[in-house]
Chains A and B, each alone.
Chain A
Amino acid sequence: MDRRTFLKTSAIITGVGLMPKHGIFSKEKEVVSLVIVKNGSPAQMADKVFEMLGGVSRFVSRGDYVLIKPNLSWDRSPEYAATTNPELVSAVVTQCYKAGAKKVLIVDNTCNDARRCYKNCQIQEIASKAGADMRFVRDSHFIETDIPGGTNIKHWPIYKEVFEVDKLINMPILKHHSLPQVTIGFKNMMGLLGGNRGRIHRPFPENIVDINRVIVPQLTIVDAIKILRRNGPSGGNLKDVEELNTVIAGTDRVLVDAWSARIFGKDPNTLKYLKLAHEVGMGEIDTEKFKPVTFTY
């Protein structure tokens, strides 16, 4: 056996020897892009989501500056399901810090008075305890941003930290909304916009997709613990609230919205903005083809 053969053989043997292990490893840790967790407490479900997606370190690295965008838009207490579940938000904040995040920022450009919203939805209180930095959004915090490839919107004032953070986590709540029928991740990004936001509604599908061209969350976690069936997005009637105890999360924002819509009882293909987002290549819309990994407590 000459040296060349020896090296070759040993390399092959080493390779083969490593292969099964590697194979098992990759099978176990297959990159999951969509998970649905049910029936746990908000904190349990948040932890499980990250565990199933491959650990929080997949999304947040040591020293990262993380922006979480929940829905704080309305002056309602959490039971009305108009705003994101505060315990879920705080559990995600905790996870981010566990992964070594340097700072976790939470903001929303609210529809009602910001101080009322931040307080009444309880995220300010609970998420601050977990160490999150809550900040009010001011006019001076927006910068006019070009939207390359925008079909209808060429530029819009966008919250400037969006472009300074390392990671963006979108945490919408699943709600009824009379324009897109249901509001999930894409629409939630409107909370990072300034300007006359009412104009985004015309035409809604093109505009919301344009906005999401420049605001790109690395992870979307949809709160479907309590959902608002009617009179959304502001709600205010407990009869319109339904408890689903579900959290949907994933990296493909179109697929997350598609599955959330399906859970809400809507065919994703009837949501114009989602179809458009799929067409411009933002993600998958076919809920039959792309199934989530599910876990039920």
Chain B
Amino acid sequence: MKKNRSITFRRTAQIAFLGLFILTILQATYPFHPWIPPELFLWADPLTAIVTQLAGRFFDPVFLIALLVLFSPFVFGRAFCGWICPLGTTIDISDRIIANKNYRSFRKYRSLKTIILVTIVLFALFGIQLSWYMDPLPILWRSLGILGMSFFFLLTDTVLNGFINAGIFPDTVLNIQDKISFALFPVATPRFLMLFLPFFIILGILLLSKISRRFWCRNLCPLGALLGLLSKFSPFQRVVNEESCTSCSICQKKCKMDAIEDDFYSTEKSECILCLNCCKDCPTDAITYKFQSPKTMRSSIDLTRRSFIGTGTAALFGSSLFRLNILNPSGTDRLIRPPGALKEDDFMERCIRCGECVRICATSGGCLQMSLLETGLEGLLTPISKFRIGYCEYNCNLCGQICPTKAIQPLNLEEKQEIKTGTAIFLKDRCIPYRLNEDCIVCEEHCPLPKKAIILEVKEFIDPRTREKRMVSYPYINPDLCTGCGICENKCPLEGEVGIIITREGEGRF
């Protein structure tokens, strides 16, 4: 019974941390009054902390929280993976449905995760940030924060609209709908350009369990590899009572991580995530977890010198390739970064593609989208402004407030209102007044600046067909005032190609 209680305790902790993680996502919304910082899990992620600071060559004291997680293996081994990591919990939940629970050993792939870790760290030494490809916490943040939230929103909206259309307490349901909107989402369903890439990444991670349980954690997760490396000497460990052990092998088969050696006594501590399943399932209660001198435990280095050197050389060449590659080979002048973004090189080094800025922007303006290849292969999933989808709210500075690595600098509202992300230009072949000589002024009316950056010049126009005279307001831009917020491009009434666009002209980066 006591054994079952410890499993319940572990599961409760897992659910609680996953809940906390979801809470941090829910709080990343306008109006922004977080009581837990939405960046908490990313700050506490030692891989993000080390790699980002190494690649970006900076120090930010908020990352000191990560030391808690980084030092935990010295006592509790990879307990973080088994008890806290919200991606681990997600995998555990989905494993109940999709995992191949038959015991199959894939030990030879274990060292993959260490190779990934070493590659990421070496790239970071050369100033290239790659951790986001494989770091579990940013992966889960963008999966739940962008995919999960939009899906949930669509679902609730559809259900509630169904009630309204069916006439079941329409007023009450409308009020609930508005309250949900105010607390979690924008009023209109957020739409994203780049949903399928994050979707396939998370789907892939979950489906890998078809091969074996927690395949990701066993073989691929670089954060797990990092914690595993530090777990070798943890005193809190699995201890088997050799007298009562019948070598029935149940523990080995039930182990999520395949961490139990063939003698059933020894444990690969860099793999064990202390899930306690082996204690629970042992028919003779031979297994306990307790503090014991770590010296007695075997430890193996799963990365040979040869593969280390190989990885290092590959990383050197790989990172040189990144360096030699031209940043943003195409569409450079339409690449508008969020207000307060660092200079492009620095930005790339710091951005961990967690999607926090995209998620919070979707609740206020909604211009930020994850890029696919517009910003080059290097810029995959970095935030860029797409003004036909949304625009930068004049009174909003939330993307900078929420960025966990300060790739987008936290600006106060006055600073943000003055920062230039680009400049609007008219496409006179399309713009209505220039093309058709008719009044439009939609861009001018929406310009949020106290002194409008779009100015109207009223000129007389003589229609060549009818010889009629009329006065037409022709808009022009004052580039000194324009901040490139993009509301003009967003609200331009032309369908398809617009008459005014934002370019990077005059953008201010930090």
- Which A residues have a C-beta under 8 Å from some C-beta of B? 75, 111-116, 119-120, 133-140, 177-179, 196-199, 201-204, 231-237, 240
Contact = CB atoms under 8 A, between A and B. Distances in A.
B448 A202 contact: no
Nearest to A119: B31
Given A116-B364, A116-B395, A178 B438 contact: no
B30 A113 contact: yes
A249 B365 CA distance: 35
Contacts of B448: 75, 112, 234, 236
A178 B445 contact: yes
A112 B450 contact: no
A283 B363 CA distance: 43
Contacts of A120: 395
Interface in B253-287: none
Given A198-B492, A236-B448, A116 B441 contact: no
A178 B393 contact: no
Interface stretch (B15-23, B178-186, B210-218, B229-237): B178-186
Interface in B421-448: 432, 438-442, 444-448
A136 B446 CA distance: 20
B365 A113 contact: yes
A179 B182 contact: no
A178 B456 contact: yes
List of 7 A-B pairs having minimum Cβ-Cβ separation, nearest first? A198-B493, A237-B450, A236-B450, A198-B442, A136-B187, A114-B187, A199-B493
A116 B441 CA distance: 24
B495 interface: yes
B438 A203 contact: yes
B396 interface: yes
Nearest to A183: B445
Nearest to A198: B493
B193 interface: no
A201 B395 contact: no
A268 to B, nearest CB: 18
B190 to A, nearest CB: 12
Contacts of B187: 113-115, 136-138
Nearest to B29: A115
A233 B446 CA distance: 8
A121 to B, nearest CB: 12
B414 to A, nearest CB: 13
B440 A201 contact: yes
Nearest to B458: A178
Interface string B184-203: 00111000000000000000
5 contacts: A75-B393, A114-B186, A115-B186, A138-B177, A198-B492
Contacts of B365: 113
B161 interface: yes
Given A231-B450, A234-B446, A139 B395 contact: no
A115 B182 contact: yes
Nearest to A201: B440
Given A113-B30, A138-B188, A140-B161, A202 B364 contact: no
The interface residues of chain A, by DSSP majority, are classed as loop
A138 B160 CA distance: 12
Nearest to B449: A236
B181 A136 contact: yes
Contact of A113 (B186, B440, B442, B451): B186
Nearest to B440: A201
B452 A111 contact: no
Nearest to B455: A178
A113 B491 contact: no
Interface residues of B, number: 42
Given A138-B188, A198-B442, A199-B493, A234 B447 contact: yes
Contacts of B177: 138
A203 B437 CA distance: 11
B441 A178 contact: yes
Contacts of A237: 450-451
Nearest to A232: B445
A140 B164 CA distance: 10
Nearest to A134: B178
B394 interface: yes
B358 to A, nearest CB: 16
B27 interface: no
Contacts of A232: 445
B161 to A, nearest CB: 6
B503 interface: no
A120 to B, nearest CB: 7
Contacts of A116: 30, 364, 393, 395-396
Contacts of B30: 113, 115-116
Nearest to B448: A234
B377 interface: no
Contacts of A235: 450
B495 A234 contact: no
A75 B413 CA distance: 14
B484 to A, nearest CB: 17
A198 B442 CA distance: 6
Contacts of B188: 138-139
B174 interface: yes
Contact of B444 (A178, A197, A236): A178
Interface string B295-313: 0000000000000000000
A134 B396 CA distance: 23
A232 B447 CA distance: 10
B100 interface: no
B441 A179 contact: yes
A50 to B, nearest CB: 27
B473 interface: yes
B445 A113 contact: no
A202 B439 contact: yes
B495 to A, nearest CB: 7
* Residue from the set B177, B188, B445, B451 with the largest chain A CB neighbour count within 10 Å: B445
Given A178-B445, A234-B446, A234-B447, A113 B364 contact: yes
Given A113-B186, A133-B175, 16 more contacts: A75-B395, A75-B448, A112-B393, A112-B448, A114-B187, A115-B181, A116-B364, A178-B441, A178-B444, A196-B495, A199-B493, A201-B442, A203-B438, A231-B450, A236-B448, A240-B450
Contacts of A114: 186-187
Contacts of B182: 115
A135 B174 contact: yes
B145 to A, nearest CB: 19
A135 B178 contact: yes
Contacts of A75: 393-395, 448
A60 B436 CA distance: 46
Contacts of B491: 111, 198
A202 B186 contact: no
B470 to A, nearest CB: 10
Nearest to B174: A135
B473 A202 contact: no
A231 B451 contact: yes
A140 B157 CA distance: 11
A232 B451 CA distance: 10
